[in-house]
Amino acid sequence: MAGHHRIRHGKGEAGENEMRRFSYAGSPARILFGSGISLDLVSIVEEAGCSRALVLATPHQKADAEQLAAKLGTLSVGVFAGAVMHTPVEVTQAALAIVAESGADCVVSLGGGSTTGLGKAIAYRTDLTQIVVPTTYAGSEVTSILGQTQDGRKTTVKDPRILPEVVVYDPDLTHGLPVAMSVTSALNAMAHAVEGLYAQDRNPVSSLMAVEGLRAFAKSLPVIVREPGNAEARAEALYGAWLCGTVLGAVGMALHHKICHTLGGSFDTPHAETHAIMLPHTAAFNAAAAREELAPAAALFGGLIGGGLWDFAKSIGAPMSLKDVGLVEEDLDRAADIASENPYWNPRPIDRASIRGLLQQAYEGNRPTD
């Protein structure tokens, strides 16, 4: 988690002849990683001090959640398979009624960011223990951030109660993640790492994790695209997801996350796809202002961060343009207005005109130059 005091890094502040300055706070979550580890859930629930688990899932993963509940046996009080995108408060309230009725003392969230979001929304209101079993690369399971929607408005809260206590990363559960979703989910995770590298409150550990996470995805994604059931590549990608998610939980984000939040919140574009499309463009936008910080990442993608990420995304079949996710050109003006209305920190200062230009490039799906 980020410290309360943001340490600013100016150019050269951490240079050879100057004193380093940073703050670092390790996340208190327990992380368990390994092929087949989800089979140990009975002991994992017991070790968390719990005995009445409510298993959460989306309707799509209901059967998997029921199987998991059956494996938990008497430790399970049932399944709530109503999780949906954007964590609507009505769904949280319906789940809270089941929590109260069943006397659950923990939630086991099986799925991606949407299911994890529901578990977080419950824990935020009840402080129940959360055990998350991720099946995508979104990274939400290692952050204390919750985005929720009420009456069509998305708000974000950050609170220690929101951070899941235990995360069970079992790569075997990701073998069935369709290739297209694997690609967009991974690029979503990689965006956390790229922005983490130039975050104002970055620290040496968050930067090491970011580069290692990007390396893991650069290596594993091309293999997953060719061979979705490759166990080694699936494990490497999930390892990358943990690292990139941890970076998101540890340091502040900037332009990229702000633009994706705007597009998802105001134009309902799909979450992971939007991140995938925007990443090469936002990275190129910040490339010159954060050249030194981004250099180890750029090296992984052929030397240029924006152009290199664009080539990589194209080679693994990612969606490449905002046209692909239903945006129309007339939306770009309003998107630029919203994304530039509240000032926020970014390595390259932003203004409406530059954001409008960036959105045009992403709309057309052009290869960025940086």
Is residue 370 a contact partner of residue 306, using CB atoms and an 8 Å limit?
yes
Q: Between vectors from CA 115 to CA 109 and to CA 119, what angle results, nearest 5°?
A: 60
Q: Which residue is nearest to ligand NAD (CB)?
A: 113
Residues in Cβ contact with 337 at an 8 Å cutoff, skipping those fewer than 6 apart: 352
Q: How far is the CB of 317 from ligand NAD (least distance, A)?
A: 17
Nearer to ligand NAD, 32 or 85 (CB): 85
Phi, psi of 235 (to 5 degrees): -65, -40
Q: How far is the CB of 96 from ligand NAD (least distance, A)?
A: 19
- CA 111, CA 208: separation in Å to the nearest integer? 27
Q: How far is the CB of 10 from ligand NAD (least distance, A)?
A: 28
Q: How far is the CB of 182 from ligand NAD (least distance, A)?
A: 9
Q: How far is the CB of 349 from ligand NAD (least distance, A)?
A: 26
Nearer to ligand NAD, 114 or 130 (CB): 114
Q: How far is the CB of 142 from ligand NAD (least distance, A)?
A: 8
Pairing of strands 145-150, 153-158: antiparallel
Q: How far is the CB of 120 from ligand NAD (least distance, A)?
A: 7
- CA 153, CA 88: separation in Å to the nearest integer? 9
Nearer to ligand NAD, 135 or 340 (CB): 135
Binding site for ligand NAD (CB under 6 A): 58, 60-61, 85-86, 111-115, 117, 135-136, 138-140, 143, 145-147, 174, 176-177, 185, 248, 271-272
Is residue 140 a contact partner of residue 167, using CB atoms and an 8 Å limit?
no
Nearer to ligand NAD, 267 or 307 (CB): 267
Nearer to ligand NAD, 249 or 368 (CB): 249
Tokens, residue 66:
């029921």
Is residue 38 a contact partner of residue 168, using CB atoms and an 8 Å limit?
yes
Phi, psi of 254 (to 5 degrees): -135, -140
Nearer to ligand NAD, 105 or 236 (CB): 236
- CA 155, CA 219: separation in Å to the nearest integer? 35
Q: How far is the CB of 153 from ligand NAD (least distance, A)?
A: 14
Nearer to ligand NAD, 113 or 307 (CB): 113
Tokens, residue 222:
């091309």
- CA 209, CA 60: separation in Å to the nearest integer? 32
Nearer to ligand NAD, 105 or 141 (CB): 141
Q: 3-state SS string over 226-268?
A: HCCCCHHHHHHHHHHHHHHHHHHHHCCCCHHHHHHHHHHHHHC
- CA 278, CA 360: separation in Å to the nearest integer? 11
- CA 275, CA 99: separation in Å to the nearest integer? 33
